[in-house]
């Protein structure tokens, strides 16, 4: 029963709002050490159990080397933003007269879904694409229509829709690629239930769903332009009335 102390550590850590990674690490160490407790066990054995638990963490991390690349993305994007990446993105979209927030996000949805269907899921994403490029470009397109700065409510709404567009494009596009983890998971689950299917069959049946998702969210993005215009007009009229007072 002592191994259940790890659950207590998780609950206590989350209640205290400690960093989740530290909480999980501490819970794993407590569980590993408690599993080695037995009558007559020495402190040296308990210490070795803790070291073995940490070694298991290190081995798992080392075996999944692609995580190293993911963590490198964050400082690289930070340096690019500091060098003016978002400002350059706004300047670039300002040169396209027909651009609007909804139209730009519609194009990104098409690209994101198409590349995900080919297995290139890492080409997009919130930290490496939405935050530094897509959202600032959508905001820039809306600023052109507004003729100035955007109200905070409109700016945050555009950022949220940019993130949602990336999620939808990835979620409904990646299932078309036969070697993606979700397809392999479904094939294995169905095989355990006695249902034998080929990965290609699941990929083919994911195409109608992806098309439907593109049409539905594409219509939402086109209607989103009207929402942005109304919000901008409402904000400008509010500012005019305040100025009159």
| Tens-level pLDDT at each residue, the chain (245 residues) | 666 788 888 888 888 888 877 887 788 778 877 776 666 667 777 677 777 777 776 676 655 554 445 555 666 666 666 777 777 777 777 777 778 889 999 999 999 999 999 988 888 888 888 888 898 889 888 888 777 778 888 889 999 999 999 999 999 999 898 877 778 888 888 888 888 888 888 889 899 999 999 999 999 999 998 888 888 777 655 554 444 55
Say yes or no: 53 and 97 in one domain: no
In a domain, 119, yes or no: yes
Angle separating helix axes 101-117 and 135-146, nearest 10 degrees: 160
Say yes or no: 188 and 230 in one domain: yes
Say yes or no: 156 and 88 in one domain: yes
Domain count, the chain: 2
**Residue 105 belongs to domain spanning:** 84-244
Say yes or no: 42 and 115 in one domain: no
The CA–CA distances, whole Å, from 200 to 82, 120, 188, 211, 218 equal 44, 17, 14, 17, 27
Say yes or no: 184 and 234 in one domain: yes
In a domain, 72, yes or no: no
Check residue 240 and give its pLDDT: 47
Say yes or no: 53 and 130 in one domain: no
Q: In the chain, how long is the greatest CA-to-CA distance?
A: 84
Say yes or no: 229 and 113 in one domain: yes
Say yes or no: 58 and 92 in one domain: no
Check residue 62 and give its pLDDT: 59
The pair of three-digit structure tokens given for residue 2, joined into one six-digit string: 């002592």
Say yes or no: 112 and 221 in one domain: yes
Say yes or no: 202 and 146 in one domain: yes
């Amino acid at each position: 029963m002592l191994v259940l102390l790890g659950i207590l550590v998780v609950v206590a850590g989350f209640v205290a709002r400690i960093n989740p990674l530290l909480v999980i690490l501490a819970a794993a160490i407590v569980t590993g050490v408690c599993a080695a407790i037995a009558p007559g066990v020495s402190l040296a054995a308990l210490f070795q159990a803790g070291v073995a638990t940490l070694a298991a963490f290190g081995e798992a991390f080392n075996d999944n080397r692609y995580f190293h690349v993911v963590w490198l993305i964050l400082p690289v994007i930070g340096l690019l933003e500091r060098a003016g990446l978002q400002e350059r993105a706004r300047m670039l979209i300002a040169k396209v007269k027909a651009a609007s927030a909804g139209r730009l996000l519609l194009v990104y949805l098409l690209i994101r879904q198409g590349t995900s269907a080919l297995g290139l899921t890492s080409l997009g994403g919130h930290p490496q694409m939405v935050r530094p490029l897509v959202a600032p470009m959508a905001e820039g397109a809306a600023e052109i229509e507004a003729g100035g700065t955007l109200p905070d409510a409109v700016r945050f709404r555009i950022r949220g829709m940019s993130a949602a567009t990336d999620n939808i494009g990835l979620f409904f596009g990646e299932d078309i690629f036969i070697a993606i983890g979700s397809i392999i998971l479904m094939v294995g689950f169905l095989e355990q239930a006695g249902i034998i299917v080929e990965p290609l069959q699941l990929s083919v049946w994911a195409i109608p769903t992806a098309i439907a998702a593109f049409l539905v969210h594409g219509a939402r993005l086109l209607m989103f332009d009207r929402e942005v215009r109304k919000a901008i007009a409402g904000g400008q009229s509010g500012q005019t009335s305040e100025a009159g007072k």
